[in-house]
Amino acid sequence: MSLAPVEELFTVFNETAMIMQEELACTYLEALAETGENLFQERILQKDELSEVTVKRLKKSYDSLNLHTYSKENIRKSFQLAILKGMNEIVQPNHQMTPDAVGMLVGYLVDKFVKEETFRLLDPAVGTGNLLTTVINHQQKKNVEAIGLDIDDILIKLSYVNANLQQHPIQFFNQDSLEPLFIEEADVVVSDLPVGYYPNDVRASEYEMKADSGHTYAHHLFIEQSMRHVKAGGYLFFIVPNGLFESEQASKLHTYIQENANIQGLLQLPRSLFKNEKAAKSIFILQKKGEGVKPPKQVLLVNLPSLSNTAEMEKILRKIDGWHKENK
């Protein structure tokens, strides 16, 4: 029996990553980035560090598939499965990859809101690139140029390999995204924000949302930084904690948003996607203010059902559609 495409690809990513992990004495995720780069470049870049037998084993595995025959989504999904496997080795809640269901929903929303046929998309917390490339893969007949930033060097390497394998033109920057950014202005922002305190108070003091005392929330600063780098009228789609407006720093966020953006919508993601109530998140949609940019008549407020509940989900998609026709 032949394997499904995602399984076929996963098998090669996984087998070759395990071989390299052992021989290079590195983590699975590091080995996965190396093997992904080999597949993209169609050669074994670590030849000098590997034994002859290993090189032969890798070559045999790589030769068993022709990457060009797979769709971008199948490449993304199989790479995502391998990343998930590697992430089980490390438990870092703030470095978690964005779940598929969330990425697809954001992809759908971006396609609905953004009218331009060619646009520049920014993700300042790009991680493994799963959210960013899911969104790109869900744009119908649009040309997307993207920029991704992340402070974690392994995750951004996975992101870069992921983009290469899917043949997406994405510029990557490995840096603290709250430091000054030397990037072109974006038309749209998507980001699954890191949640928690930002330790650098000196840098935080350059932001309007800086806390009066103690550390400022990184997710607030990410919103402000994104707003600085998106054009007037541009849309921003953030994955935020449900309690965003309930923290002790929420009043600053309120004021900042009121002055700089129009809230478009808040879509609460199904609780079943998250480990517990505290980890549950929403999709927060903003539009940067500017000349001729009007607020919606009504903010789109949705409680998303479990994504496997097709009937309920269809109702919600109809509601989003109706809201869009009324307000956009």
Binding segment (CB under 6 A) for ligand SAM, from list 49-57, 127-135, 267-275, 298-306: 127-135
Min dist CB 259 to ligand SAM, Å, is 24
- Only one of the segments 7-15, 43-51, 175-183, 294-302 lies at the binding site for ligand SAM (rule: CB under 6 A); that segment is 175-183
Side-chain-facing half-sphere of 55: CA atoms under 13 Å: 11
- Tell whether residue 313 is a contact of ligand SAM (CB under 6 A): no
If binding is defined by CB under 6 A, does position 226 make contact with ligand SAM? Answer: no
Q: How far is CA 263 from the centre of its chain?
A: 21
Contact between 135 and ligand SAM per CB under 6 A: no
SS3 content of the chain, % helix, strand, coil (to 5): 50, 20, 35
Among 125, 144, 161, 165, interactor with ligand SAM by CB under 6 A: 125
d(CA 76, CA 34): 16
Residue window 49-88: x/- pattern of binding to ligand SAM, with contact defined by CB under 6 A:
----------------------------------------
* Phi–psi pair at 148, nearest 5 degrees: -130, 140
When asked if residue 23 is in the footprint of ligand SAM (CB under 6 A), the reply is no
The CA distance from 77 to 101, in Å, is: 12
Residues forming a β-bridge with 172? 148
Q: Min. distance of Cβ 207 from ligand SAM in angstroms?
A: 12
How far is the C-alpha of 99 from the C-alpha of 80, rounded, in Å? Answer: 9
Does residue 178 interact with ligand SAM by CB under 6 A?
Answer: yes
Half-sphere exposure (CA, 13 Å, Cβ side) for 75?
A: 23
DSSP string, 159-204: HHHHHHHTT--EEEEES-TTS----PPEEEEEEE---SEES-HHHH
Among 176, 197, 302, 312, binds ligand SAM (CB under 6 A): 176
And the tokens for 142? 């649009």
Span from 52-60, 104-112, 149-157, 204-212 in contact with ligand SAM (CB under 6 A): 149-157
When asked if residue 155 is in the footprint of ligand SAM (CB under 6 A), the reply is: yes
3-class SS letters over 284-327: EEEEECCCCCCCCCCCEEEECCCCCCHHHHHHHHHHHHHHHHHH
Q: Is 147 in the site for ligand SAM (CB under 6 A)?
A: no
In this structure, are strands 261-268 and 281-288 parallel, antiparallel, or unpaired?
antiparallel
Q: By C-beta, is 95 or 142 nearer to ligand SAM?
A: 95
Complex with ligand SAM: residue 17 or 178, whichever CB lies closer: 178
Q: Which residue is nearest to ligand SAM (CB)?
A: 127
Among 148, 194, 234, 270, interactor with ligand SAM by CB under 6 A: 194
Instruction: Count CB atoms within 10 A of the CB of residue 250.
Output: 14
Residue number with CB closer to ligand SAM (150 or 187)? 150
Cβ burial of 59 (10 Å; 0-12, 13-18, 19+) is: middle
Choice from 14, 16, 74, 98 touching ligand SAM (CB under 6 A) = 98
> How far is Cα 308 from Cα 310, in angstroms, rounded to an integer?
6
Contact with ligand SAM (CB under 6 A) among 97, 204, 223, 257: 97
Binding-site member from 38, 137, 166, 177 for ligand SAM (CB under 6 A): 177
**Which residues sit at the interface with ligand SAM, rule CB under 6 A?**
94-98, 125, 127-128, 130-131, 149-152, 155, 176-178, 192, 194, 218
